[in-house]
Structure 1
Amino acid sequence: MASHRKPRSRSGLMRTSQAVGITTAALTSVALLSQTAGAAPAEPKPSLEEVQKKVDDLYRQAGVATQKYNAAKESADQQRGEVDGLLDQVAKRTDKLNDARRELGSLAAAQYRNGSTSETASLLLADDPQQMFDQRQLMSRLGDRQQRAVEDYESLQREANDKRGEAQKSLETLTESQSELRDSKKAVQAKLSEARELLSKLTAEEKARLAEIERRKEAAAKRKAEELARQQAEEERRREAEEAARQEQEDQESGTGDGSDSGSDSGTGSGSGDTSYAAKAEKVIAFAEAQIGKPYVWGAVGPDSYDCSGLTQDAWKTAGISLPRTTWDQVKVGTTVKTADAEPGDLVFFYDDISHVGIYIGGGKMIHAPKPGANVRTESIYYMPIHSVVRPA
């Protein structure tokens, strides 16, 4: 039986296919637009000023971590020395204890040969010698020599145990210091790696512009240093004029005339008039100048490389002054003075966290070990925010 359905025309099929294609394309476009709209916008590239600030902050944070590392290393070194000393004492007391044990053994053997009851042997074989020491009847049975030997043994055993306990505690402290040392080292390395990564992403043009920003910063710091130098020079001339006027008046009152033999000493040009300090400062600065050009290496104390506090510590050592290892401890040594009153040899500390230090050489300038990638150099003290100025001696 024939079908009564009307066959679909070819043109109708084509129209249907086209409609489906248009619909699919439209849906795809909508989906793509939705994805684009929902995607997070790309973060804007930081400006060079922001990059420089970030890098400077990372170097400063690395400086803080370096001081923590220095403190932990100093503590670990001291603790290691103490542990070695205690272990040496333990070894010596153990030797003495063994000698005492052999003495008791000799007495026990003699008792055995004489056929007497070997209380000394019982002591040596006892699970708890201390319990036997507490038994007064044992002590009363022993002769004088035996009693002294037992007392010596007991005393040496107690001392050896005490020293072992001290050594164990000191070892635990050393382990903690070493753990802190490792953590500080990782922190320094992480900050420096982050700074290097930021700088590595800059183009050649951006690096040139960043260098120009750095030059402007240095120039501004130099101008401030020159202004401080001018003010200090004026103050020095004023003091000298006052001293000359005072000396002239004293000469007139004493009738000495030209004052050629007044016996007074106007000093060395130092604002404090302390010639001994000026002599020490001269040694400090001479040493620091000899280190110019050596690389900054965090945690280094010379002689081939330095970090900031390692340089100041080594420099002041030449003047007979032992400074602590870290900036946080060095800032506590000596007398704090105003920046305007800074004299050559003074220590200049920077940042609120006191993570950097340099040696003032006059004229608003210092010698310091700046940061990784830089060498010991002369620079304006205004290159970084000043925390305080300290006169160590």
Structure 2
Amino acid sequence: MAAHRKPRQRPAGGSTARTAATLALAGAATATVFDGTGQAAPDLTPAQVKAQVDRLYQEAEVATEKYNGAKEEVDAAEQRLEELRDEAARKQDKLNSAREELGSMAAAQYRQGGLDPALSLALSADPDEYLDHAAFAERAGDRQSAAVHRVRDRLREFEQLRGAARIELTSLKSRQAELQRHRRTVTGKLDAARRLLSRLTAEERTEVTGQDATATTPRASRDATASRPDLQALAPTSTTATATAPDSRAAAAVSYAYSKLGSPYVWGATGPDAFDCSGLVLAAYRSAGVELPRTTYAQIGAGRRVSRSELLPGDLVFFYSAISHVGIYIGNGQMIHAPNPSAPVRVAPLDEMPFAGATRVV
């Protein structure tokens, strides 16, 4: 009877596996960044890159403002926790003092021992002296009772503070985790945009970002504007803008914004040398003695809403439906804003982005 043998298995490195690997690599090579994480296709035009980069920057700015809000909450929670800990330390000191007072009383009673009051009176050679001592002992008992109540009160206050601190610590950890999530979102979007831009030539990047490579500092930005009549026609001088501002604070904020032209965009930054969009607004009005909220979605409620036709220099102008971008209006349909990591603080037309509303700081 013939022996039956199993058919020989093909090696894993055969042509089928090689074909699958080749197809997988080919698919990976043609992946794009439509999800914000892949690699751009080699044949993307500058216009297509611009569309994707603009979308990534806008999404990153939404996440940046959420990060700024979460950072503000983390800072406030840390401050509250520190205050609770300081107050708990003070309550602990008071509790220790109350316990020491009660301990001293207990030690004194232990040393002196205790006699039945009737026997003490019988043995006393001077009843009047005994009665004086008895009255003192009664008062001492009252003091001891009060000391016990003080210990109980101090202990209750201390435990309440410890409980509040535990709750605040839990809340702080949750906010810190949220902060890290927003940070990862922002950096992921910005990294994807950088990868897209890195595929372009210097000339194409200038076309996509609208940023002259020489205008990277405040001086370079002003020099570039001074050398270009077209920009001079678009952007009013700071003197003109501040002269028509509704009040001295708005004028001071506009002047500050002008002084920061060319400063780099850095997400989460509030100056003095780098800014994100809401950070520039915050710093500009802080220079005028006005404290504004940190985020765009809070800043839009920090004054009186005005229509686009009512705009005056110093008004805050907001963009996108999520209220994720803000600039400072300077007149003639122009604003100063911190656009994105590809462009520094600069003058731009309001029509550059979808207009969402405006606020006059009051």
TM-score (norm 2): 0.72
- Residue matched to 1:208: 203
- Residue matched to 1:166: 164
Shift of 1:42: 5.7
What are the within-5 Å matches in structure 2 for residues 1-393 of structure 1? 45-116=43-114, 143-202=141-200, 204=201, 208-209=203-204, 211-212=206-207, 277-393=246-362
- For the 8 Å contact 2:235–2:347, the answer to whether it is kept is no
Shift of 1:280: 1.9
| SS of equivalent to 2:247 | helix
| SS of equivalent to 2:249 | helix
- Residue matched to 1:13: none
Q: Per the alignment, do residues 91 and 148 of structure 1 end up closer, same or farther by CA in structure 2, a change over 3 Å counting?
A: same
Q: Per the alignment, do residues 369 and 214 of structure 1 end up closer, same or farther by CA in structure 2, a change over 3 Å counting?
A: closer
| SS of equivalent to 1:80 | helix
Structure 1 vs Structure 2 CA RMSD: 3.1
Shift of 1:94: 0.5
When structure 1 is superposed on structure 2, of 378-387 and 360-369 the one drifting more is 378-387
Deviation per CA, 1:286-320: give whole Å up to 9, x if none: 11111222211110111121111111012112333
**Bigger Rg, structure 1 or 2:** 1
Q: Per the alignment, do residues 213 and 147 of structure 1 end up closer, same or farther by CA in structure 2, a change over 3 Å counting?
A: closer
Give aligned-pair identity as a percent.
Answer: 43
- Residue matched to 2:119: none
CA distance in 2, matches of 1:210, 1:336: 37
- For the 8 Å contact 2:313–2:331, the answer to whether it is kept is yes
Moved beyond 6 Å, runs of 4+: 226-229
CA distance in 2, matches of 1:227, 1:336: 26
| SS of equivalent to 1:335 | strand
Shift of 1:327: 0.1
- Residue matched to 1:244: none
- For the 8 Å contact 1:228–1:340, the answer to whether it is kept is no
CA distance in 2, matches of 1:210, 1:292: 20
Shift of 1:116: 3.0
The one-letter code matched in structure 2 to 1:168 is: R
> For this pair of structures, how many residues does the alignment match?
285
Structure 1 gaps, min length 5:
1-27, 118-139, 217-222, 230-267, 271-276
Shift of 1:50: 1.9
- For the 8 Å contact 2:49–2:208, the answer to whether it is kept is no
The one-letter code matched in structure 1 to 2:256 is: F
- For the 8 Å contact 1:228–1:364, the answer to whether it is kept is no
